[in-house]
Amino acid sequence: MTEELHQSGVLLCSDISTDILPYIEGRDSKQIFVLTDENTAKLCAPILQSIPQLKEAHYVTIPAGDDFKNLESLAKIWSFLGRHKATRHSLLINLGGGVISDIGGFAACTYKRGLDFYNIPTTLLSIVDAAVGGKTGINFDGLKNQIGVIRQPQHVFIDPQFLSTLDEENRISGYAEMVKHALISSEKDWKEVTAFDIHDGDRETLKNLFWKSVAIKERVVAIDPNEKGMRKALNFGHTIGHAIESVSHEKEAPILHGMAVAVGMVAELYLSHKKCGFPQQILEQAVTFINAMYPAYAFGDADYEHLYDLMTQDKKNEGNRINFTLLGNIGDVQINTHCTKEEIFAAMDFYRNSVLSTSINH
DSSP 252: T
Q: What are phi and psi of 121, to 5 degrees?
A: -70, 140
**Domains detected in the chain:** 3-165 (3.40.50.1970), 168-361 (1.20.1090.10)
pLDDT confidence of residue 318: 77
The three-class DSSP label of residue 322 is coil
- Alpha-carbon distance of 359 to 362, in angstroms, equals 5
Q: How far is CA 164 from the centre of its chain?
A: 19
Q: What are phi and psi of 278, to 5 degrees?
A: -55, 130
pLDDT confidence of residue 1: 46
pLDDT confidence of residue 362: 45
pLDDT confidence of residue 200: 86
pLDDT confidence of residue 359: 53
The secondary structure element, H or E, covering residue 62 is: strand 58-62
How would you write the pLDDT of the chain (362 residues) with one tens digit per residue? 456 654 569 999 999 999 999 999 999 999 999 999 999 999 999 999 999 999 899 999 999 999 999 999 999 999 999 999 999 999 999 999 999 999 999 999 999 999 999 999 999 999 999 999 999 999 999 888 999 999 999 999 999 999 999 999 999 999 999 999 999 999 999 999 999 999 888 899 999 999 999 999 999 999 999 999 999 999 999 999 999 999 999 999 999 999 999 999 999 999 999 999 999 999 999 999 999 999 999 999 999 999 999 999 887 777 778 999 999 999 999 999 999 999 999 999 999 999 987 655 54
The pTM for the full model equals 0.94
CB 64 within 8 A of CB 39: yes
| H helix intervals, 68-198 | 71-83, 98-110, 124-125, 168-185, 187-195
- Alpha-carbon distance of 132 to 105, in angstroms, equals 11
pLDDT confidence of residue 7: 52
Angle at 217 between CA 112 and CA 341, to 5 degrees: 95
- Alpha-carbon distance of 250 to 332, in angstroms, equals 34
Strand partners, 334: 326
At residue 176, what is the residue type? A
pLDDT confidence of residue 262: 98
- Alpha-carbon distance of 297 to 263, in angstroms, equals 7
| Length of the chain measured in residues | 362
- Alpha-carbon distance of 163 to 204, in angstroms, equals 12
pLDDT confidence of residue 37: 98
